Amino acid sequence: MQRFLLKYFERILVLLLVASLLVINRLIDQKLAFLSFYYLPVILAGFFGGRRFAVGSAVFIAALTLFFQAIEGFGMEAGLTPDSMLTLVPWAGFLILTGYVVGGLAEQRAARLADLKNAYLATLEMLTFHIESTERHQEGHSTRVAQLAGEMGAELKLPESELENLRIAALLHEVGIADHRLLRLLSRSVTDETVAVARALRGAAEIIAEYSHYYEIVGDDWDIEALPMATPVKVLAVADAFETLQMATPVRPAFTRWSALEEVEKGAGRTFAREAVRALRVVAGRPEVAAPAKALKVV
C-alpha cells in the first residue's frame, strides 16, 4: 500500500485537491475558514515531490479558488471584487511561497542524502576492490556482479529501492558471506531507518544474509519458484554464477560468455529462478554489459 501511494502520489494529491475544493465549495458555508487547510497538501507536495510540484500544486489550488470565486463566490460575493482579491491574493501568494520554500528544503535534503549515500558506496566499493585484489582470479568480480545484477533487476522492473539494495548486496556479497561481521555492521550502521542510507544498507544486509544460505535451500527436490525467496536474492544468484563461471580457477579454465550462459540456463527452474535467467539472457545480449562496470551512484 505504501509503495502504491508513493508511486502515484502526484495523481492522488491532485485528485484530493480537486475533490476537497468541490466539497468545500458545495457543502460548507464558511468557506474562507478552510483555506488554511491547503497549506498541508502543499507542504506534503514539497516534501515528496520537490519544489516544482509543490509550486505547481499551490498555483493550481489558487487558480481553482479564484475560478470558483469568479463564477459563484467562495464565501464572498461572486466576482473578482477588490475585497475578494484582497483576501485571496495574499493567501495565494503565501501558499505558493510555502510550496517554494518547503520544496527547496526537501530537494536540498535529498541531495545531501544522495551525497552521503554515494560516499558510503564509494567506500564500500574501494573496500571490496582491495579485498579482492589479494586473489588474482577474483579481482573486479563483485563490481561486475553488481553491474550485471543491477541491469537484470532493471529488466525485471524492480522498484528503485530494491534495485539499490541489490546493487549494494552484489557489491558486498563475497565479503558478507565470508565474514558475517559485515552483515552486523551494515545492520546497525545507521540507527534512523527513515534515512535512505540506513534503508539501503539494511536492505542489502538482508539480501546478503538470505543469499548466504541460497545453495542450502535450492536443488532438484524443490521448485525454486515455490520457495519463499526474495526476487533480488534470485537475481544475485544468477548474476554471481554467470560471472563466476567466466573466471578461471585452479581447478578449471574460464567459461566463455556464451558457455557460461548455457550453463546457467541448464539450472533454470531448479537452481535458478526462470525469470532471473530470462533477464540474464536479455541483458547478456547487450554489448554494453561487457564494458567495464561503472561506479554505483544514487541519482
Rounded average pLDDT over 177-199: 54
Q: Can you tell me whether residue 75 is helix, strand or coil?
A: coil
**pLDDT, tens only, 145-159:** 999 999 999 999 998
C-alpha to C-alpha distance for 147 and 239, rounded to whole angstroms: 9
Q: With the C-alpha atoms ordered 281, 282, 283, 285, is the resulting torsion angle positive or negative?
A: positive
| Assigned C-alpha cell, 222 | 524443490
Q: Average pLDDT over the chain, rounded to whole? A: 80
pLDDT: which is higher, 251 or 296:
251
Least confident of 52-56, 215-219, 232-236: 215-219
| Residue 280: its H or E element | helix 274-284
pLDDT-based confidence at residue 132 (cuts at 50, 70, 90): low
- 49-92 per-position pLDDT tens digit: 889 999 999 999 999 889 988 888 877 888 888 888 988 999 99
Q: Are 139 and 95 in contact (CB under 8 A)?
A: no
Three-state SS at 272: strand
pTM here? 0.63
Q: pLDDT tens digits for 278-295?
A: 999 999 886 644 444 444
230-239 mean pLDDT: 93
Percent of residues, the chain, with pLDDT higher than 70: 79
- Answer yes or no: is pLDDT of 139 > 60: yes
Question: How far is residue 23's CA from residue 6's CA, in Å, rounded to a whole number?
Answer: 25
What is the three-class DSSP state of 267? coil
3.40.50.300, 3.90.1170.50, 2.30.110.10, 1.10.3210.10: which CATH number matches 133-290?
A: 1.10.3210.10
Domain with CATH 1.10.3210.10 in the chain: 133-290
Radius of gyration of the chain (CA): 26
